[in-house]
Amino acid sequence: MTHLIENTHENNKEAYMETFQEYDSDTMELADWANGEMFGCRWSPENVSFSVEGLRLTIAQDEIGELTGGEWRTRESFGFGKYEVSMKPIKNTGVVSSFFTYTGPSDGTQWDEIDIEFLGYDTTKVQFNYFINGVGNHEYLYDLGFDASEAFHTYGFEWRNDFITWFVDGEPVHTVTEDIPSTPSKIMMNVWPGTGVDEWLGPYDRAIPLVAEYQQISYLP
């Protein structure tokens, strides 16, 4: 269920919250294509499910044996503000479960992105990263002190024109202040097996199905 709250702030946007009880084609988009490169799957809408318990993104296999992943995004773009997700990532080597903001050439903009990524080989850690005009390499791996795959926790970031601060369960854990992206972006989540990136993700063992769970996301200007 989508909730929009009329509360305009610095970027003249409404607050936004989604609990994923049902698909809303006016506000959501499900990927149905392949990114290629390190993404070892094709995105399939069939790998995205909604219920009163929230959103489930699945890594699976189609009828001809090709791997499929799930990707959800907003249709609207959002700018500076605070972004949060309550989620449980996949625990399995070779895969990624994510929450992030993204905009790029497909939106008619430069590539800007802010990431929260769980690398399935070790879900006691979370990786933060960001891109500005396609330039990344800002990875920061944070030791959570718990296994994120075992229970729902809240992860998020506050994005302003002069800093990004990432949070875990409401506590700030990492801040950057240089080369901050500025382009309004879509809120996204996806799950995918890697290919050709074993040094980063570990080798994928083709275990299926694998499921990440998302209870809620929110944005406050």
Residues that are catalytic: 113, 117
| Residue 135 CB contacts under 8 Å (≥ 6 apart), including other chains | 179
Measure the CA–CA gap between 47 and 60, rounded to whole angstroms: 7
Closest alpha carbon to 99 in 196, 220, 213? 213
Distances (CA, A) of 201 to 39, 81, 83, 122: 12, 30, 25, 9
Amino acid symbol at 143:
D
Measure the CA–CA gap between 141 and 27, rounded to whole angstroms: 32
